A and B are shown apart, each in its own frame.
Chain A
């Protein structure tokens, strides 16, 4: 099992460019999450998908969109990147109940110039 995989690992964008961060899990988990990690602010939830076919906003959804493509894949799109979106982005998955453990991917380090 690869667990949770994310692509790309690193990305540099110019202000106004768009891109999609990809996340996939092979654990047959129902729920998936996107977080951003910034120094001194911990992990902040951007969007989550409690189950296939559903998505909900987290704490900081502005400037992002998500797609739960199927049970395995959950992508995060930046339509018009801004320097404030420079961050490390983590994807996570959770099997079923909220009491289950979240499994995290390795992260994508994004820099917006």
Chain B
């Protein structure tokens, strides 16, 4: 069965620190990969996605993620976090051609001002 692992459940950083959130998936075929974010009191919204082409994808608010097929990974990065990045981050996978979406358990990020 497909699964998505997010390694860190809670991360605390100071402003201007660099961020990397891990995401690994288990699935033998080709996949589409997503990072969603849920800010306090708001709906989940898309940060970025990968489905083909350049494995380094850029999203909103300075976030980027790199798809490494050999490692089944899609880690999220940001060079310098802000207090406003405090949120919960979810990695998600859909098998190519399908609609069934599997989410990871999420990572709660708290950025200290």
Give every chain B residue within 8 A of A101 (Cβ-Cβ).
46, 49
A98, A103, A107: the one contacting B97 at CB < 8 Å is A98
CA distance A34 to B30 in the complex (A): 24
A40, A43, A45, A104: the one contacting B100 at CB < 8 Å is A45
Beta-carbon contact of A42 and B99 below 8 Å: no
> Given known contacts A35-B103, A42-B104, A44-B103, is B98 in contact with A98 (CB within 8 Å)?
yes
A33, A41, A98, A105: the one contacting B96 at CB < 8 Å is A98
Report B's interface with A, CB cutoff 8 A.
4, 6, 9, 32, 34, 36, 43-46, 49, 51, 90, 92, 94-106
Give every chain A residue within 8 A of B46 (Cβ-Cβ).
101-102
> Given known contacts A40-B9, A42-B90, is B105 in contact with A104 (CB within 8 Å)?
no
**Beyond A45-B103, A59-B102, A92-B44, 12 additional pairs, beta carbon < 8 A:** A40-B9, A42-B103, A98-B97, A98-B99, A99-B32, A99-B49, A99-B94, A103-B43, A104-B44, A105-B43, A106-B43, A107-B43
Chain A contact residues, majority secondary structure: strand
Residues 84-101 of A at the B interface (beta carbon under 8 Å): 90, 92, 94, 98-99, 101
Q: In the assembled complex, how far is the CB of residue A33 from the closest CB belonging to chain B, in whole angstroms? A: 7
CA distance A42 to B101 in the complex (A): 12
Q: Tell me if A56 counts as interface (CB < 8 A to partner B).
A: yes
Specify the chain A residue showing the minimal Cβ separation from B31: A98
Specify the chain B residue showing the minimal Cβ separation from A94: B99
Chain B contact residues, majority secondary structure: strand
Specify the chain B residue showing the minimal Cβ separation from A90: B44
Give every chain A residue within 8 A of B100 (Cβ-Cβ).
45, 48, 56, 58
Give every chain B residue within 8 A of A90 (Cβ-Cβ).
44
Beta-carbon contact of B101 and A48 below 8 Å: yes
Specify the chain B residue showing the minimal Cβ separation from A92: B44
Would you list 23 pairs from A and B whose C-beta atoms are within 8 A, ordered by A residue? A31-B99, A33-B101, A42-B6, A42-B103, A42-B104, A43-B103, A43-B106, A45-B100, A45-B101, A59-B102, A98-B94, A98-B95, A98-B96, A98-B97, A99-B94, A101-B49, A102-B46, A102-B101, A103-B43, A104-B44, A104-B45, A106-B43, A107-B43
